[in-house]
């Protein structure tokens, strides 16, 4: 691959870079050339790590070449060594005019990331490049030590002290080989990660920990976790030299938090008590030995080798210091909210315990010696964590090294300038009782009262960053996939960042779906706000949302909660109310544990379930800022969708959060020149947004990946919340008020994505169980037995989401009330009318058989496009439900059809005049009864209602004026005539509630004028066959459908439950024709078609209720007028998928879709519920019509609508 030239530097890149990758590498080189800092955001999947490595190492090589050129120039005395390549063309861009000519001045590259696993990924990327620098990776003894005795120690600090003891006595064979093996060329020139170092150490019997520290001296690029850089004591312990170095923080979204935590501490009563107890026991032991004469005033060889170089008097002084510090902290009578002091107060407090700049060094060394001695002492385990913590605190608080001419008493004054970024907070210890159970330290009298915790908190990440700058680094580069918003991030760092970049993604628009879901399927507003998160209606709506999104999102689904308490409480509610069972049946649930112990086991179980070819995928429930949201890779099928259930704001009442916000507000008020601070409120919002962005980043991990993001909290709709999303996501964000539209659109998204980007082949799981919820304590969410789906797809590819227990519950819309059953046939004729209205320009089929042939040929073309194999398998659970319904109806009884003549009721010509007169009389009576002011007030309310359609405001005004006196109750009820149809039922109910008497409401009052006119227009002329009365001896089709036997069975079910063509056909339909002049089959076909529509509408009303069927009627009316398919489908999906038995209605509704929308409707069905015949239901119904006139031909025609697997 030819190199890419960027900023005058040739970069060897493994493949042709995208434009966003070139931009990224150019910005990296710009930082290095100009010795400036940069903050670079590039989404996961854009090759950020590879770009960072290649650009940095290319610049380093160019820097080295520039030094070589200068050395040559010095020796040549200005003559050109290569005439065709003048020395000037070698450039000075790499060094930016530096005059150095020493190879030792080539900057070291320090590459820091959050964890060793992330560093391992970076090192593997480096191995894939053409660059081969000398590499070193730093780690702790926890990762690198291979001495069996040291590794048996329980805590890290015990391992440290035992290791030091063995080194001092030369008793570690692995350490003794370090000096010899550190010159081994194979080790020096190899690119080794932590695992490689450990393998090499075991193979060559050399200590990996000290080998890595030895390799550091020669390394050109050093890898380390970034707390090694930010924590002053870790930086000193690893002897990290920063002068002139290039420092890179990868995954830098955590740097802000790490900067603050690395310079903060909490000292609990337990820490002090355990330290006092350890020193007390050491004193007792030393006193006993002194009594036996084993200890002299002078040090003997045994004490030197044992590491204890302290006499009893010094140990006693250390104990007294600890007691004084404990007494000083506990001397404060703190309220529940605690006491807050300035950062400089820490020195006053420590001084009371004789801890000052003058005494810090001897006290620190004494604590280190005691800890080391006790850690290396065989026998009974001694808890030394408190001692080690105190030693670390002394290093932290007195962190500034004494310099020449600036010693002693002046040091506290220097420190006070930096302590403005700190606060001291003393508060009650709430962990007292828990600690008492774990140790016997509290047997002393000090345990009788509750102790205080001393907290020393840093509130400026810039404190650590400015310290790095003071160390003389060349450049600091912060990069991550989620740093947005950059302005607030850089302001927190408090150092300049002249170079900034927000890179776009390399994916296409059809690879990402982002939606803000304001309300759940039941219309309840979704919110994780403090006062709403645990409201039962809110938790239930969120559960329904997860259930329904789980159906349409294939493979792996991630669900992130704001915090562990919210997740625990919500899952508990879902278990108690059946939501967990429904989710479990769709996608087995796995729950992120709080501890590290079982996390790997649970995440492996989730991966296995997603990979299992017999499963429908899995769902993983986790929290923002948790382990799963920060570093795990959910690429491809492991994360096809991510649901964010709320904004994860920090706990508002937490003292640290309160003080942080107060500190920022205080800094904003000071208005320091050249320094910009966030306000406390902006920081608070930023923390939530950054956690959301990090969780979002778990999906779409590379350029061929795709996935959906669902933001399920109404607060995401705000402009501010959307502005803080990553820049590459913002253009794709869509806001939905109708949940049915979300389901429709995301189903379509995955249908297209799976077509263009087939999922990788799924492998059978090793024995995963899909019935249990795998949580930290390995308990099931649902008590039901474990099970797995029997259905699978050819080739092992992932299935589309199938229909399961329940479907999208209907949305709460504007309440439309019931209309009587007599409107059913009018609606049926309306459907017949609009279905063909838009096809007027086309040639209409001459008869019903021709129409069926026309429909047959149209869907036949679609079958050809789908291919033979897929066409043979296009029977879905939808068609199976409908087949079962027809079969059950036939077995339950014969359906008798009687055709009757409709009675047309003419409207009175004086109806409108009567209404106007009645309204005028009512207004006159109201004017007489009310004062002028009140009359104007109610008329204004009426005018507002007319404009805003807000019944609540009108009710409030009317109730206030007319319910104070029983004599005016009739005026309140009289307002009924001014109420719009869709509000009449509600107004009537309110009148009953307020006055004890209704307004004479009838269901047809809820029909609008247009709806009533449409019903009348669809009536037949005298003598025409229009109205059909249907009676059946069979029970309801909906009640006979056993969804649990039919749903989600796929090909396996087809093999067992095959139905013959005859089983789909109705038997012995009896037609009674009232009109003696009826000739031929046309009138019968018209009546039969009208009957089928009326039958469907009757089923709809029985299944979803009159109110919701009225909503459906309204949507059909609108579709007839506007031809707006999208609006119709959003309503239909939300209304006809609430219960399993409703599902066949969704398919049968294809009868009402206009011909030019039928294909689109079929595709929506396929995407929503799996492969279906699309119009199988309509085909069967049409077959019922055909059999009446020509049974033989009709049977052949209906048979052609079914795949060959059913025509046996």
User: What whole-number distance in Å separates Cα of residue 923 and Cα of residue 977?
Assistant: 11
Cβ pair 863, 1201 in contact under 8 A: no
Three-state secondary structure call for residue 1029: strand
Binding-site positions for [4Fe-4S] cluster: 145, 163, 172, 207
Question: CA-CA distances (angstroms) from residue 10 to 29, 362, 708, 940, 1198?
Answer: 11, 54, 38, 76, 70
Binding-site positions: 145, 163, 172, 207
Cβ pair 614, 788 in contact under 8 A: yes
- The alpha carbon dihedral of 522, 524, 526, 530 has a sign of negative
User: What whole-number distance in Å separates Cα of residue 999 and Cα of residue 992?
Assistant: 8
Question: 9-11 and 4-6: which strand pairing?
Answer: antiparallel
Among residues 1143, 1172, 1140, 1141, the alpha carbon closest in space to that of 1159 is found at 1172
Question: CA-CA distances (angstroms) from residue 150 to 172, 176, 201, 382, 680?
Answer: 10, 15, 15, 16, 46
Three-state secondary structure call for residue 41: strand
User: What whole-number distance in Å separates Cα of residue 1187 and Cα of residue 342?
Assistant: 91
**SS3 labels along 700-754:** CCCCCCCEEEEECCHHHHCHHHHHCCCCCCHHHEEEECCHHHHHHHHHHHHHHHH
Among residues 574, 573, 572, the alpha carbon closest in space to that of 585 is found at 574
DSSP state of 421: G
The beta strand positions in 966-1042, using DSSP E, are 1027-1032
Count of CA atoms in the C-beta half-sphere (13 A) of 184: 15
Question: 556-561 and 707-711: which strand pairing?
Answer: unpaired
Cβ pair 516, 711 in contact under 8 A: yes
Percent composition of the chain: helix, strand, coil (DSSP 3-state, to 5): 55, 10, 35
Give me the residue label for tokens 């104070």: 964
Give me the residue label for tokens 């047309």: 904
Alpha-carbon torsion, ordered 614, 615, 617, 623, to 10 deg: -130
End-to-end CA distance of the chain: 60
User: What whole-number distance in Å separates Cα of residue 998 and Cα of residue 972?
Assistant: 10
Question: CA-CA distances (angstroms) from residue 323 to 329, 353, 766, 866?
Answer: 10, 8, 58, 82
Phi, psi at 730, each rounded to 5° = -50, -40
Among residues 814, 812, 809, the alpha carbon closest in space to that of 1134 is found at 809
The beta strand positions in 997-1122, using DSSP E, are 1027-1032, 1070-1072
């Amino acid at each position: 691959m030819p190199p890419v030239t960027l900023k005058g530097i040739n970069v060897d890149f493994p493949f042709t870079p995208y434009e966003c990758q070139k931009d990224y590498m150019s910005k990296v080189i710009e930082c290095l050339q100009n010795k400036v800092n940069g903050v670079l955001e590039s989404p996961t999947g854009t090759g950020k790590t590879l770009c960072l490595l290649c650009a940095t190492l290319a610049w380093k090589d160019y820097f080295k070449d520039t030094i070589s050129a200068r050395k040559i120039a010095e020796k040549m005395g200005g003559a050109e060594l290569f005439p065709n390549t003048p020395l000037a063309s070698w450039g000075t861009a790499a060094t930016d005019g530096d005059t150095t000519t020493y190879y030792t001045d080539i900057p070291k590259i320090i590459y820091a990331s959050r964890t060793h696993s992330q560093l391992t990924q970076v090192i593997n990327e480096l191995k894939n490049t053409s660059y081969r620098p000398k590499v070193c990776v730093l780690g702790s003894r926890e990762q690198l030590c291979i001495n069996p005795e040291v590794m048996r120690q329980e805590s890290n600090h015990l391992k440290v002290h035992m290791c030091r003891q063995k080194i001092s006595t030369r008793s570690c064979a692995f350490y003794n080989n370090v000096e010899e093996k550190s010159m081994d060329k194979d080790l020096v020139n190899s690119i080794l990660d932590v695992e490689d170092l450990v393998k090499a150490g075991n193979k060559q019997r050399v200590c990996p920990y000290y080998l890595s520290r030895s390799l550091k001296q020669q390394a050109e690029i050093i890898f380390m976790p970034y707390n090694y850089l930010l924590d002053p004591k870790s930086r000193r312990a690893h002897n990290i030299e920063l002068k002139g170095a290039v420092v890179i923080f990868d995954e830098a979204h955590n740097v802000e938090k790490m900067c603050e935590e690395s310079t903060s501490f909490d000292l609990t009563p337990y820490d002090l008590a355990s330290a006092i107890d350890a020193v007390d026991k050491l004193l007792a032991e030393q006193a006993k030995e002194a009594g036996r004469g084993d200890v002299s005033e002078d040090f003997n060889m045994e004490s030197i080798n044992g590491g204890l170089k302290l006499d009893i008097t010094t140990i006693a002084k250390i104990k007294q210091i600890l007691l004084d510090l404990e007494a000083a902290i506990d001397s404060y009578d703190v309220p529940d909210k605690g006491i807050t002091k300035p950062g400089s107060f820490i020195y006053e407090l420590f001084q009371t315990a004789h801890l000052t700049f003058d005494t810090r060094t001897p006290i620190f060394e004494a604590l280190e010696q005691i800890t080391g001695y006790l850690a290396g002492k065989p026998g009974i385990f001694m808890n030394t964590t408190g001692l080690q913590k105190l030693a670390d605190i002394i290093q932290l608080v007195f962190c500034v090294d004494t310099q020449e001419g600036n010693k002693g008493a002046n040091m506290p004054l220097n420190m006070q300038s930096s302590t403005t970024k700190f606060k001291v907070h003393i508060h009650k210890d709430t962990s007292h009782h828990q600690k008492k159970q774990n140790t016997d330290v509290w047997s002393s009298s000090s345990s009788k009262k509750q102790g205080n915790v001393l907290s020393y908190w840093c509130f400026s990440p810039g404190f650590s960053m400015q310290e790095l700058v003071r160390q003389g680094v060349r450049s600091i580069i912060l990069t991550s996939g989620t740093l947005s918003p950059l302005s607030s991030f850089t302001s927190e760092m408090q150092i300049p960042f002249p170079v900034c970049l927000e890179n776009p993604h390399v994916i296409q628009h059809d690879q990402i779906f982002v939606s803000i879901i304001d309300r759940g399927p039941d219309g309840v507003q979704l919110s994780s706000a403090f006062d709403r998160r645990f409201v039962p209606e809110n938790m239930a709506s969120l559960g329904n949302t997860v259930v329904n999104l789980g159906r349409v999102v294939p493979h792996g689904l991630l669900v992130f909660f704001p915090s562990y308490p919210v997740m625990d409480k919500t899952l508990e509610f879902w278990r108690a109310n059946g939501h967990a069972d429904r989710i479990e049946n769709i996608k087995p649930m796995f729950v992120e544990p709080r501890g590290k112990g079982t996390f790997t086991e649970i995440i492996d179980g989730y991966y296995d379930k997603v990979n299992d070819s017999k499963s429908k995928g899995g769902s993983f429930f986790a929290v923002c800022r948790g382990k799963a949201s920060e570093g795990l890779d959910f690429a491809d099928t492991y994360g096809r969708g991510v649901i964010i259930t709320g904004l994860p704001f920090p706990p508002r009442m937490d003292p640290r959060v309160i003080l942080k916000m107060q500190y920022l507000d205080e800094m904003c008020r000071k208005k320091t020149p050249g320094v910009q601070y966030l306000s406390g409120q902006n920081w608070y919002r930023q923390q939530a947004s950054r956690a959301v962005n990090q969780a979002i980043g778990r999906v779409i991990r590379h350029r061929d990946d795709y996935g959906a993001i669902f933001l399920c909290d109404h607060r995401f709709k705000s402009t501010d919340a959307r502005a803080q999303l990553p820049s590459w996501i913002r253009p794709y964000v869509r806001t939905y008020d109708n949940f049915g539209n979300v389901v429709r659109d995301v189903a379509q998204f995955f249908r297209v994505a799976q077509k263009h980007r087939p999922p990788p082949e799924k492998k059978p799981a090793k024995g995963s169980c899909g019935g249990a919820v795998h949580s930290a304590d390995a308990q099931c969410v649902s008590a039901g037995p474990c099970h797995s789906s029997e259905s699978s797809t050819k080739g092992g590819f992932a299935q589309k989401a199938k229909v399961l227990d329940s479907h999208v519950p209907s949305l709460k819309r504007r309440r439309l009330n019931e209309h009587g059953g007599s409107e059913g046939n009018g609606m049926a004729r309306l459907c017949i009318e609009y279905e063909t209205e838009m096809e007027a320009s086309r040639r209409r089929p001459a008869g019903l058989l021709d129409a069926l042939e026309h429909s047959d040929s149209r869907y036949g073309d679609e079958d050809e496009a789908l291919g033979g194999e897929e066409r043979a398998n296009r029977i879905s659970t939808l068609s199976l439900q409908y087949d079962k319904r027809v079969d059950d109806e036939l077995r339950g009884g014969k359906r008798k059809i009687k055709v009757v003549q409709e009675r047309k009721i003419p409207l009175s010509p004086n109806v409108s005049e009567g209404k106007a007169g009645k309204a005028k009389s009512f207004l006159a009576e109201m004017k007489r009864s009310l004062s002028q002011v009140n009359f104007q007030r109610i008329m204004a309310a009426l005018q507002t209602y007319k404009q805003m359609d807000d019944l609540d405001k009108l009710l409030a005004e009317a109730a206030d004026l007319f319910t104070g006196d029983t004599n005016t109750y009739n005026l309140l009820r009289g307002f009924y005539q001014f109420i719009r149809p869709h509000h009449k039922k509600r107004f009537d109910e309110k009148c009953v509630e307020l006055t004890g008497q209704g307004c004479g409401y009838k269901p047809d009052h809820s029909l609008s004028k247009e709806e009533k006119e449409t019903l009348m227009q669809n009536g037949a002329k005298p003598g025409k066959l229009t109205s059909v009365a249907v009676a059946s001896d069979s029970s309801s089709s909906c009640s006979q459908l056993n969804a649990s036997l039919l749903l989600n069975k796929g090909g396996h079910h087809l093999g067992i439950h095959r139905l013959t063509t005859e089983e789909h056909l109705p038997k012995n339909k009896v037609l009674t024709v009232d009109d003696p002049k009826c000739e031929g089959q046309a009138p019968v076909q018209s009546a039969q078609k009208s009957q089928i529509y009326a039958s469907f509408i009757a089923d709809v009303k029985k299944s979803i209720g009159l109110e919701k069927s009225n909503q459906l009627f309204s949507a059909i009316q609108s579709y007839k007028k506007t031809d707006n398919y999208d609006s119709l489908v959003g309503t239909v999906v939300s209304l006809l998928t609430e219960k399993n038995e409703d599902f066949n209605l969704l398919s049968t509704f294809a009868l009402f879709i206009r011909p030019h929308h039928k294909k689109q409707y079929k595709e929506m069905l396929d995407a929503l519920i799996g492969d279906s015949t699309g119009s199988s239901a309509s085909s069967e119904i049409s077959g019922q019509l055909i059999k009446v006139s020509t049974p033989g031909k009709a049977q052949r025609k209906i048979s052609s609508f079914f795949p060959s697997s059913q025509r046996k």
